[in-house]
Amino acid sequence: MVRRDGRLTTYRALAVLHIGLTALAIVLPVLAVALVGAAEADAFLHTAQARALFFSRMITIVWVATGAALVVGVSAGWAAIRAARQAMLTEEKYRQVAENTLVGLFLADPSGRITYANEALCGILAWPDDRPPPEADVLALVQRSEAREQLRGELETQGRVANAEVELEGADGALRTCLLSAHRFDGHLAGVCIDVTERRRLQEEMRRADRLAAVGQLAAGLAHEFNNIMGGMSGFAQLARSTASPDAVDKLIDVVLQASGRASEITRSLLSFARPSAPRLRFTTLEAPIEAALGLVRHDLGSSHIRVAQDYAADLPLVRMDPGQMQQVFLNLFINAAHAMPDGGTLSIRIAYEPHAGRVAVHVTDTGHGIPAEQLDRIFEPFFTTKGHPGESETAGSGLGLSVSHSIVAAHGGTIEVRSQVGVGTTFTLWLPVLSHVPVAAGTPAADPAVTLSPPAGRPLRILVADDEETLLSVMRDLLAFGRHEVTAVADGPAAIEALQQGAFDLVFCDLLMPRANGSEVLQAARALPQPCPVVIMTGKVSEQAEAELIAAGALCCLRKPFKLQTVVAIVADVAQEQAA
């Protein structure tokens, strides 16, 4: 037997010698017959001359056989030595590769216990002495139970797992985000673990940076848009005061209503951008989100000498979509187009209806520098950008805008494609499905109806109004007083709670965010009364989840500011009718 150093062990050599002598004793008579003849073999072996002749021939044969055996043995020995040395070198080479790679490698027995871990994996999981703990188990390291059971199921059914993103807990208690790949062989488990914790952190920072950049772009558009809104309102207010004309007053009222609706849409869009949520689908015109997005960048487009050309087909159907999310898509496309035309150009927006395909197409075209053909296939990949990364150019991007836009369009059941030619321009085309052809009549939207201030059915209600915004508090007090209701108005939460404890009320309108005590505390106080009264929560930025929680806590409903006064009148009428029944 050959050891690692290539030498025969002593006991193996003695065994070979013993076997050789035994074999010689067995074949001696046979050799005698072969050498001197069968008839005289017995007598021949008993005479000195015969023995001398026999042994001389034997010595010759033994020398020849021994030489041949030595040649064969030496050759085989050297071959074994070379094979053993090659195996040692190969094993050492792979061991060096495993120990020096930056990727974690491990082996586990059939029970899942880790029997080998390279230095990289020990570093990832902060294992001391660069070796796995005796109780280390592959699946037990995975933190979330659902992820752990999913990995177990895939290994049992498919025998392998590829690039599963999991959180592993190290010996120091810290969580690492890792990509785990493994496969079974002969009941054992071999796997690879890649630490992507830092990569995910950097990606999240890039997302935040991209959102901040977009917020900065929005802020410029919002400032311009709100200045326009306030300019129109201020101008007509001054005109109404100077002329005292009924026509000027009526015009001022129309301007205020339109401007407040426009400002409300802008703030809702900004909140939607800051807190993305699942699409709230409803049938609406496709022009609405396009015009809203244009309103945010129109000032920047004009200052960059970019002309906007719009071509909307007549008799367009309604589209089922989330206007806020689609506005985000168009805003991103318009900003990208502006960046592609630093020296000015034309931004074209064309909407076409394709009844045979049951869809509406929106084409957004710029006359900018275009996108190279080799980059078009990657244009919707996350973190891929043609603008350069932050610090590399003035219009740097993180590469998330088009990726997010692609996801939003897909969530609406649509598709988005891009065509571009360097030096000519780029066209993004969105296709959105329509369920049926419901045409929209041309013309301006109808104005808000006037508020009906009819006397209450039955006795007047005792109503408590709590809001720290003085203007809104005054509007609510005057509105309800015109309806001949008994109104108590307070400006903070503690005053509202004190009023509830001192008097009986039929209805409460309460702002959600107030000094010293919020609307939720007022709601709890109202529900704790011997005779609880209905509470309506008013707020400017409540989320859908928070709204559901308030309703579950006992709120009658939530009014999102700015709300229509006719809605308040309707709520009061419903409560009055219920109490009169």
pLDDT (0 to 100) of residue 397: 45
pTM value?
0.39
- Domain 104-195 indexed as CATH 3.30.450.20: yes
Average pLDDT across the chain, whole number: 76
The ranges assigned to domains in the chain are 10-98, 104-195, 206-433, 462-580
The larger pLDDT score, comparing residue 275 to residue 521, is at: 521
Three-state helix/strand/coil letters over 32-85: HHHHHCCCCHHHHHCCHHHHHHHHHHHHHHHHHHHHHHHHHHHHHHHHHHHHHH
Cα separation, 319 vs 535, in Å, equals: 36
Omega cis (within 30) before 562 = yes
* Ranges 8-12, 87-91, 466-470: which has the least confidence: 8-12
462-580 has which CATH code? 3.40.50.2300
Is 366 a residue whose pLDDT tops 80?
Answer: yes
- Fold: same for 104-195 and 206-433: no
Is 575 a residue whose pLDDT tops 90?
Answer: no
Cα separation, 542 vs 271, in Å, equals: 10
Instruction: For residue 500, give the nearest of 477, 527, 473, 479 by alpha carbon.
Output: 527
According to CATH, the superfamily of the domain at 206-433 is Histidine kinase-like ATPase, C-terminal domain (3.30.565.10)
pLDDT (0 to 100) of residue 22: 52
Q: Are 279 and 319 in contact (CB under 8 A)?
A: no
Q: What is the pLDDT of residues 112-138, one digit of tens each?
A: 888 888 888 888 888 887 778 877 888
pLDDT (0 to 100) of residue 2: 43
Cα separation, 528 vs 554, in Å, equals: 11
pLDDT (0 to 100) of residue 365: 95
